[in-house]
Amino acid sequence: MSRWTWIVVFFSRLLLNLGVRVTYPFLPAIARGLSISFQQAGFLVAARHFVGLTGALWALVAEKKGYGWGMMIGLTALLLGTFTVSLSTGFAFALVGFILIGISKPVYDPSVQAFVSARIPYGKRAMALGILETSWAGSWLLGIPLSGVLIAHFGWHSPFGFISGAALIAIVLTARLRDITSTDQIAGYATEQSLSTPPETPLSKIGPLLILGVSLLMVSANENMVIVYGAWLEEQFHLQVRELGFFSILVGVAELGGELTVVALVDRIGKRKAILGGLVLTGLSYLALPFCQNSIYVALAGLVCMFYLFEFTIVSIFPYVSEMVPAQRGKWLAFNYTALVIGRLCGALSGPWLWQRSTNILFLVIMSLAVQTLAIVLLLSARPKTNAMDMRIKE
C-alpha cells in the first residue's frame, strides 16, 4: 500500500467514525432541531445500531465483488445518509438518514480491514490495523470540537452537511486508487501467496465461532459499564454536563493510547497473547471501580484505564480475526463486526436496566466480570491446531 492509499483510507475511516460519534454529545441539539423528544432522538440512534446487524449480509456480496466495492458502497451510504439528515426537518426523513449512516460502517469497515490485511503480512498486521483504528479516537478528538463550533455558528445540521461534502471527496479519491481497481482485488485473494500465508486454517473448525463469541461478550461487558458511567459520576460525585464533557476528552486520549499500544506492541508479543492479556486487565479495571468511589480523581483515573485497556483489546482482535480463515477474511471480519454490534446492543439494554434497579456500581461490576470471564473461557477454548498464527510474527 502506498502512502497516498493510506491517507485516503484513513481520511475515509475518520469520516465514517465521525458520522457515528457526532450524535452522542449533540443528541439534545439534534432533538431540538428536529422538534422531536429526546426519546425519539434516541430511537434514531437505536435504528442506526440495529441496521449494523446487516454487516454479515453485505460481506457475502463484498466477498464476490471485491473489497473496493464494499468501501465505495459504504462511503456512498455515508454521503446519502448525512446529506439526508442535514436536510431533515422532522423525524421520518431523519430516520432514513440515520439508517443509511448505520449501513455505512458495517459495509465499509470489514471491507477496508480486509483490504489492508490482504496487502500487509501477518507479522505487521497489528501495526497496520492499529494505525487504521486510530481514526476512531481521532474522530472524537478532532471531529467533536469541530462539530461543536459548526453547530454554534451554523446550527445542528451543519456537521452532517460537512461530513456529506467530505464523503463526496472521499468517494472520488477512493475510486481513483490504483490498489482498489487492481485485478487481484476483483478476484479477492491473489495477494495471499505473496504474503507467505499458509493455506491451512490454524484454528479448529469451531475456533472462529468461539472467537466471535469472545468479541460479542467482551463488548457486551464493556458497554454494560460504559453506558452508565455518566450516571455513576453524577450520582457519586455530582458532576455536571460541563465536567462530563471534559472527561470525554480524556476518553478520546485513552482510546488513542490503546490503539497506539497495539501499533507498538502486539506484533511483537503475539495477537492471541495480547487479546488474553487485554481481557484479563480490562476485567481487573472493572473490579477496581468500586474502590475508586472516595475520590473523583481516582474514579476518573480508573475509568480512563478501563477505556484504554478495552480499546487495546478490541483492536488487538482485528488482526487475529483477519487470519482465522485467510481465504474468507472479509466475511469473517464482517461476522466479527456483527458480533460487536450485538454485544453493544446487549450491553446497552442490560446496563441501564441493572443501574435503575440498584444504582450501585458494584452490581454492574459483578455482572460485567461474569461476562468477561466467559469471554476468557471461550478464548482459551479456541486453541489453534498449531502455533502457526503467532509464529508468523517472526517472518
SS3 14: helix
Render pLDDT for 204-215 as a digit per residue (tens, 0 to 9): 678 899 999 999
- What pLDDT does residue 150 have? 92
Q: What are phi and psi of 37, to 5 degrees?
A: -75, 160
d(CA 210, CA 229) in angstroms, rounded, equals 29
Within this chain, domains 3-195 and 207-394 share the same CATH topology:
yes
pLDDT class of 386 with cuts at 50, 70, 90? low
Render pLDDT for 295-324 as a digit per residue (tens, 0 to 9): 888 999 999 999 999 999 999 999 999 988
- Is pLDDT larger for residue 390 or for residue 367? 367
**DSSP H helical ranges for the chain:** 3-21, 23-34, 38-51, 55-65, 67-87, 91-117, 125-138, 144-154, 158-175, 178-181, 183-187, 207-226, 229-237, 241-261, 267-269, 271-288, 296-322, 329-358, 361-381, 388-391
- What pLDDT does residue 384 have? 67
Evaluate whether 347 touches 223 at the Cβ level (below 8 Å).
Answer: yes
- What CATH number does the domain located at 207-394 have? 1.20.1250.20
Class of domain 3-195: mainly alpha
d(CA 306, CA 288) in angstroms, rounded, equals 9
Render pLDDT for 197-239 as a digit per residue (tens, 0 to 9): 433 345 667 889 999 999 999 999 998 888 888 778 878 887 7
Neighbours of 42 (CB within 10 A): 14
Render pLDDT for 9-28 as a digit per residue (tens, 0 to 9): 999 999 999 999 888 778 88
Q: Residue ranges of the domains in the chain? A: 3-195, 207-394
Average pLDDT, the chain: 86
Render pLDDT for 316-356 as a digit per residue (tens, 0 to 9): 999 999 988 888 888 899 899 999 989 988 887 888 888 87
